[in-house]
Structure 1
Amino acid sequence: MLVKHFPGETIGIIGSSMASALLAQEAGRLGYRVASLVLQEQNPVRQFCNWQTICPVYDETALRHFAGRVDVVVAETGLLSHQDYKILAAITDLTLSDDLMAITTDRLIEKVFLDSQRCLVTPFSMVTSLKDIKEAVEYIGFPCVLKTTQRHLPQSSDHVILYSEEDYERAERKVEESTCILEAWIPTEKKASLTLVRNERGEMLLYPVFEVIGSGELHLKQVRYPANISSMVEAEMRRVAQVIGQALDLIGSLTLEFFITSAGVVYINEASVGLSSEAIFTLGSMSMSHFEATCRALVGLPLPDLLPRGRAAIALPLVDLNYDEVMTQYMMRTDWHFAFFNPRGHSVEDMQGYVIVIGDSIKHCERQIELSRLTHHPK
């Protein structure tokens, strides 16, 4: 049964990323109390929550204690198992249906669901042994990618790429740890993503298609919109997102990552249910950020029409920027957006966050970055 949550009630957030901190900030602004469950004392969420519990591990005891003190709960993707979500759902309001719980935690179920919706996904196979891998390679071929099916397991993001039979030894070690999924490697010209938010009324916000530039951890990457793709490809991505959002009966946020080939063929690589750290570019560049929209969807508020405030935006991680120049722009700019976090115990200048540069085009944004010397690091 759908539950409405009114200001003064408590939203429980599990996780300590910048996305969780932004959700906590928006929840407080909308009049809700915020509770936080994290593993480490130093985290960006703490400055925006009413109370925070620090636990050594997200076990049943910690989850039950936390769920019993909040009115609705949301968790970052990859932290909890399907059973963990079941524990939360039995105690408090969890906006994830049984299908969404399964898709959120299991890559294989996610692929099967997307395939059932007649969405184009990379060829895949479940594998539990080296024998399974060898049989799957017969029709998937080399190169291919071996992934752990359960997202909450340690090293679940450490994928193994198989280029030839010489990689079987590494693959065998991984498949011995847990059940895996073997996926074909698709030669792609570009990767692009799209985030949508939907509430229980069926109202849906589709944010612009964006690209993540760079490598390594997310906080070392920059996010750009609009993505440099054709209008036909973008239209297909938006169509697929609407189909999946409706089919899942989604309440909350969903981010889809697409592979685009040189021939314009669009594959769905991943459907991530939950907060999107990449959607930080929506701060200031859209009439409603992804984080406010997600909060509104979770508590049952309406979603207004989405309007762009800028034709383009580049979100830059603060860790890559010249701090003094960032502060200069912060004191001058009304057209950019700044998302700053100063976790407890850090010095004043030891901040985390992003600078969102907004302009008429990507080139205009790049020119502003160059002129402001944001990325200039003095020796």
Structure 2
Amino acid sequence: MADLPLPPGSTLGILGGGQLGRMLSQAASRLGFNVVILDPEENSPAGRVSQGQVIAAYDDPTALQVLGRVAQAVTFEFENVPAASVQTLVESGAEVAPGARALAVAQDRVDEKTFLNSVGATTVDFAAVDSVDDLVAGLERLGVPALLKTRREGYDGKGQVWVRAVSEAADAWNAIDGKPAVLEAKAAFTRELSVIAARGRDGQVAVYPLGENIHEGGVLRTTLAPAKVDRKTDARAREIAAAILNGLDYVGVLGVELFDLGKGVLLVNEIAPRVHNTGHWTQDGCVCDQFEQHIRAVAGWPLGPTEPHARVEMTNLLGDEVDQWTALAAEPDARLHLYGKAEARPGRKMAHVNRVSKL
């Protein structure tokens, strides 16, 4: 295993070559690290800004062994990395962070909610669903409407369907292709908040200010940060983040999506064991953004400051909205972050813009 903290000049491996991997690689390069990407897509966005890329499937044993040998530490940009891949990397001598337990918890929505409640990070009431009969029973217990989600995978509104009557159970089950699922009670929240937090290898925890999120069609459109919250809400969010990080013995940055019920009452919607879309505002609102923070934690460095120096409105650019780059680049208070993706498909995240103002 590598000696920590890793000195500049060390090599970091990243599983995933998309925009999060790209921004992680850019942050690592600024700190003096070499970066190697593993991604099946040739000429990936992250690969183009890194020292090299291994072009292979995420479960390719030879590719993983190569990455584990050249990289002193390995991390990932998405949570659906096969657990066996992490084990292969560990066996090849690489430090992998976040660890296997965080991955396992985040990959299964029932396990995730069970864990969250066990550490005092309360969620909506829920029921595991493995059949239409389970779904009917869950609807009768939780009430309608309720949200049916596949237990594994699914993102940006995919793999889920609202069930508004018990009579819709069969259709809803077919809509998710009869996959193992979780049924979630509807939460009477006023808005969605998120908190980005990090934990170092020494157990140090650093928490960024809350962001307020606005979604359209199940996809994040805008994050406003720091969010306007009272002290009780802020303190509760920090308490939740620390409980999750410590409960998982976590290393790296974690995103926590929250339902704000008012008066300091927060429910956890879900967690993401990685840098997170709702933390992009930190790139232009904080001295140490979420990407540098993650690299610091993985490499065993001290965590950076999380205090904001500006207010930021982060907006995702989807599909051909990226064609507005000339107009956005002309805005004096806008910082444009382009992902280098070749094809602007409808709904695909192509870039984001941070509009900065004074606190």
* Shorter-chain TM-score range: 0.7 to 0.9
**What letter matches 1:106 in structure 2?**
D
Q: Name the residue aligned to 2:237.
A: 237
Unaligned runs of 5+ in 2: none
**What letter matches 1:306 in structure 2?**
T
1:339-368 residue CA offsets vs partner (Å, 9 max, x unmatched)? 33445799xxxx95333221125xxxxxxx
The TM-score with structure 1 as length reference comes to 0.83
Which structure carries more strand by proportion?
Answer: 2
Give the conservation status (yes or no) of the 8 Å contact 1:283–1:337.
no
Give the conservation status (yes or no) of the 8 Å contact 2:120–2:240.
no
How far residue 2 of structure 1 moved from its aligned partner, in angstroms, is 8.0
Give the conservation status (yes or no) of the 8 Å contact 1:223–1:281.
yes
SS of the residue corresponding to residue 322 of structure 1 reads helix
How far residue 24 of structure 1 moved from its aligned partner, in angstroms, is 0.1
SS of the residue corresponding to residue 44 of structure 1 reads coil
Unaligned runs of 5+ in 1: 362-379
Which deviates further from its counterpart, 239-248 or 352-361?
A: 352-361
Q: Name the residue aligned to 2:316.
A: 317
Closer/same/farther in 2, CA of residues 284 and 188 from structure 1, 3 Å limit: same
Q: Name the residue aligned to 1:295.
A: 295
The TM-score with structure 2 as length reference comes to 0.87
Q: Name the residue aligned to 1:71.
A: 72
Q: Aligned partners of 1:278, 1:17: CA distance in 2, in Å?
A: 16
Which deviates further from its counterpart, 118-127 or 79-88?
A: 79-88
Question: Is it true that 1:260 corresponds to 2:260 in the alignment?
Answer: yes
SS of the residue corresponding to residue 261 of structure 1 reads strand
Aligned ranges 1:172-187 → 2 under 5 Å: 172-173=173-174, 177-187=178-188
Which deviates further from its counterpart, 234-243 or 77-86?
A: 77-86
1:11-33 residue CA offsets vs partner (Å, 9 max, x unmatched)? 11111332211110011111111
Aligned ranges 1:350-361 → 2 under 5 Å: 352-360=350-358
How far residue 123 of structure 1 moved from its aligned partner, in angstroms, is 0.8
1:131-152 residue CA offsets vs partner (Å, 9 max, x unmatched)? 111222222121111222223x
Q: Aligned partners of 1:244, 1:101: CA distance in 2, in Å?
A: 13
Give the conservation status (yes or no) of the 8 Å contact 1:103–1:109.
yes
SS of the residue corresponding to residue 27 of structure 1 reads helix
Closer/same/farther in 2, CA of residues 226 and 68 from structure 1, 3 Å limit: same
Q: Name the residue aligned to 1:129.
A: 131
Give the conservation status (yes or no) of the 8 Å contact 1:150–1:156.
no
Q: 2:117 aligns with which of 115, 118, 127?
A: 115
Closer/same/farther in 2, CA of residues 146 and 224 from structure 1, 3 Å limit: same
**What letter matches 1:6 in structure 2?**
P
Aligned ranges 1:6-25 → 2 under 5 Å: 6-25=7-26
Q: Name the residue aligned to 2:148.
A: 146
**What letter matches 1:248 in structure 2?**
L
How far residue 117 of structure 1 moved from its aligned partner, in angstroms, is 1.1
Which deviates further from its counterpart, 285-294 or 135-144?
A: 135-144
Q: Aligned partners of 1:66, 1:286: CA distance in 2, in Å?
A: 32
Q: Name the residue aligned to 1:59.
A: 59
How far residue 115 of structure 1 moved from its aligned partner, in angstroms, is 0.9
Residue identity (%): 25
Q: Name the residue aligned to 2:337.
A: 339
How far residue 208 of structure 1 moved from its aligned partner, in angstroms, is 1.1
Q: Aligned partners of 1:164, 1:229: CA distance in 2, in Å?
A: 35
Q: Name the residue aligned to 1:204.
A: 205
Q: How many aligned residue pairs are there?
A: 349
Q: Aligned partners of 2:215, 2:240: CA distance in 1, in Å?
A: 26
Q: Aligned partners of 1:316, 1:155: CA distance in 2, in Å?
A: 15
**What letter matches 2:327 in structure 1?**
E
How far residue 97 of structure 1 moved from its aligned partner, in angstroms, is 3.4
Q: Aligned partners of 1:217, 1:131: CA distance in 2, in Å?
A: 27
Closer/same/farther in 2, CA of residues 37 and 306 from structure 1, 3 Å limit: same
Closer/same/farther in 2, CA of residues 328 and 20 from structure 1, 3 Å limit: same
1:92-112 residue CA offsets vs partner (Å, 9 max, x unmatched)? 211233422321322221111
**What letter matches 1:278 in structure 2?**
T
**What letter matches 1:139 in structure 2?**
R
Q: Name the residue aligned to 1:370.
A: none
Which deviates further from its counterpart, 335-344 or 14-23?
A: 335-344
Closer/same/farther in 2, CA of residues 2 and 224 from structure 1, 3 Å limit: farther
Give the conservation status (yes or no) of the 8 Å contact 2:79–2:273.
no
> What is the aligned-residue RMSD (CA, Å)?
2.8
Closer/same/farther in 2, CA of residues 214 and 146 from structure 1, 3 Å limit: closer
Q: Name the residue aligned to 2:329.
A: 327
Aligned ranges 1:359-370 → 2 under 5 Å: 359-360=357-358
SS of the residue corresponding to residue 304 of structure 1 reads coil
Which deviates further from its counterpart, 189-198 or 69-78?
A: 69-78
Q: Name the residue aligned to 1:365.
A: none
Closer/same/farther in 2, CA of residues 142 and 345 from structure 1, 3 Å limit: closer
Q: Name the residue aligned to 1:284.
A: 284
